[in-house]
């Protein structure tokens, strides 16, 4: 009994030792495959984030340009309003006293 068990365990040990390199190799290949997939996913994520960043930069640049153009248009409209208000007094606004003096003379 004990001799058979002894030989049985030796045979199992021998099989395990014989298969150990294959098992270790499979484990290493699985780890490598897993890490390669993780790396690929990280690279893909980085590319997507860089593209998103470029899109955001383009959008920000466009918005700044639009703001600058709107500010230019606003200042032109304000200048035009000032110019027009100096030319013609509004109907509700009486002529200035200087205008009265020139009209009387």
- Indicate whether 104 pLDDT > 60: no
* CA separation for the pair 27, 13 (Å, rounded): 19
Q: What is the pLDDT of residues 41-97, one digit of tens each?
A: 999 999 999 999 999 999 999 999 999 999 999 999 999 999 998 876 655 655 555
| Alpha-carbon span 87 to 91, nearest angstrom | 13
Give me 25's structure tokens.
């190799």
Tell me, yes or no, whether 6 lies in a domain: yes
Domain membership of residue 75 (yes or no) is yes
**Does residue 11 fall inside a structural domain?**
yes
Residue 62 lies in a domain: yes
For residue range 14-27, what is the model confidence (pLDDT) as tens digits? 766 777 888 889 99
Range of the domain at 54: 2-89
Report if residue 103 sits inside a domain: no
Domain assignment present for residue 105? The answer is no
pLDDT of residue 87: 78
| DSSP H or E run through 93 | none
Assign residue 93 a region (left: φ > 0; alpha: ψ between -120 and 50; beta: otherwise).
Answer: beta
Estimate to the nearest angstrom the gap between the alpha carbon of 68 and the chain centroid. 23
Q: Is 90 helix (H, G, I), strand (E, B) or coil?
A: coil
Q: Is residue 45 part of a domain?
A: yes
State how many domains the chain has: 1
What is the rounded CA–CA span in Å between residue 60 and residue 56? 6
Residue 99 included in any domain: no
Helices (H), ranges, 1-96:
2-87
């Amino acid at each position: 009994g004990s001799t058979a068990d002894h030989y049985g365990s030796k045979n199992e040990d021998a099989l395990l030792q014989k298969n150990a390199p294959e098992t270790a190799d499979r484990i290493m290949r699985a780890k490598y495959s897993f890490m390669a997939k993780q790396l690929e996913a990280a690279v893909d994520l980085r590319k997507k984030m860089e593209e998103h960043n470029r899109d955001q930069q383009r959008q920000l640049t466009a918005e700044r340009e639009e703001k600058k153009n709107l500010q230019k248009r606003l200042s032109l409209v304000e200048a035009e309003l000032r110019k027009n208000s100096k030319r013609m007094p509004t109907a509700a606004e009486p002529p200035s006293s200087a205008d009265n003096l020139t009209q009387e003379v």
